[in-house]
Amino acid sequence: MTLHTLNELIDEGVRGRYVLVRSDLNVPLDGSNVSDDGRIKASIPVITALANAGARVLVSAHLGRPKGAPEAKYSLAPAVARLAELAPELNATLAADTTGPAAQAAAADLADGSVLVLENVRFDARETSKDDGERAAFAAELAALTGTNGAYVDDAFGAVHRKHASVYDIAKVLPSYQGDLVRTELEVLRKLTTESERPYVVVLGGSKVSDKLAVIDNLIGKADSILVGGGMLFTFLAAQGHKVGASLLEVDQIPVVQDYLARAEAAGTTFVLPSDVVVAAGFAADAAHEVVAADAIEGSSFGEKGLGLDIGPVSGAAFAEAIAAAKTVFWNGPMGVFEFAAFAGGTRAVAQALSTNSSNGGFTVVGGGDSASAVRSLGFADDSFGHISTGGGASLEYLEGKELPGLLALDR
The answer to whether residue 369 is catalytic is: yes
Angle between helices 345-359 and 370-377 (to 10 degrees): 90
Q: What is the mean pLDDT of residues 58-65?
A: 97
The residue among 370 and 101 whose pLDDT is bigger is: 101
Annotated binding-site residue? 162: yes
The residue annotated as part of the active site, out of 113, 306, 362, 369, is 369
On whether the CB atoms of residues 308 and 234 are closer than 8 A, the answer is yes
Tell me the C-alpha distance between 323 and 326, whole Å: 5
Q: What is the mean pLDDT of residues 90-100?
A: 97
Annotated binding-site residue? 379: no
Tell me the C-alpha distance between 113 and 92, whole Å: 10
What phi and psi, each to the nearest 5 degrees, are found at residue 113? 80, 5
The residue annotated as part of the active site, out of 82, 208, 222, 263, is 208
On whether the CB atoms of residues 230 and 335 are closer than 8 A, the answer is yes
For the chain, helix (H) and strand (E) counts, in that order, are 14, 17
Annotated binding-site residue? 309: no
Tell me the C-alpha distance between 194 and 197, whole Å: 9
- Report the amino acid identity of residue 404: L
| Closest residue by Cα to residue 296 from 288, 281, 308, 313 | 308
Tell me the C-alpha distance between 266 and 273, whole Å: 18
- Which stretches within 117-253 are classed as H helix? 132-144, 180-193, 213-219, 233-239
Annotated binding-site residue? 371: yes
Annotated binding-site residue? 389: no
On whether the CB atoms of residues 277 and 289 are closer than 8 A, the answer is no
The answer to whether residue 208 is catalytic is: yes
- Report the amino acid identity of residue 321: E
Tell me the C-alpha distance between 257 and 209, whole Å: 9
* pLDDT value of position 210: 87
Cα pseudo-dihedral 360, 362, 365, 366, rounded to 10: -30
Annotated binding-site residue? 357: no
**β-pair partners for 116:** 58, 93
Classify 15 in phi/psi space as left (phi over 0), alpha (psi -120 to 50) or beta: beta
The answer to whether residue 303 is catalytic is: no
Least confident of 78-87, 129-138, 159-168, 204-213: 204-213
Q: What is the mean pLDDT of residues 377-403?
A: 87
Residue 393, pLDDT > 90, answer no
* pLDDT value of position 399: 86
Tell me the C-alpha distance between 38 and 157, whole Å: 13
The residue annotated as part of the active site, out of 17, 22, 38, 39, is 39
Q: What is the mean pLDDT of residues 394-402?
A: 86
The residue among 196 and 296 whose pLDDT is bigger is: 296
Task: Provide the edge-to-edge strand list for the sheet that holds 276-280.
Answer: 289-293, 276-280, 307-311
Percent of the chain with pLDDT over 70: 99
The answer to whether residue 336 is catalytic is: no
| Closest residue by Cα to residue 409 from 30, 153, 133 | 153
- DSSP helix/strand/coil, 376: helix
Q: What is the mean pLDDT of residues 336-344?
A: 96
Classify 147 in phi/psi space as left (phi over 0), alpha (psi -120 to 50) or beta: left
Annotated binding-site residue? 56: no
Q: What is the DSSP string of 59-111?
A: EE---S---SS--GGG-SHHHHHHHHHH-GGG--EE-SSSSSHHHHHHHHTPP
Tell me the C-alpha distance between 77 and 87, whole Å: 15
pLDDT tens, 142-175?
999 999 999 999 999 989 999 999 999 999 999 9
On whether the CB atoms of residues 209 and 70 are closer than 8 A, the answer is no
Q: Which domains occur in the chain, in start order?
A: 6-184 (3.40.50.1260), 196-400 (3.40.50.1260)
* pLDDT value of position 285: 97
Annotated binding-site residue? 64: yes
Residue 368, pLDDT > 90, answer no
* pLDDT value of position 412: 67
3-state DSSP helix/strand/coil percent for the chain, to nearest 5? Answer: 45, 15, 40
Tell me the C-alpha distance between 18 and 139, whole Å: 15
Q: What is the mean pLDDT of residues 47-70?
A: 97
Alpha carbon 115 to chain centroid, angstroms? 25
Tell me the C-alpha distance between 47 and 39, whole Å: 13
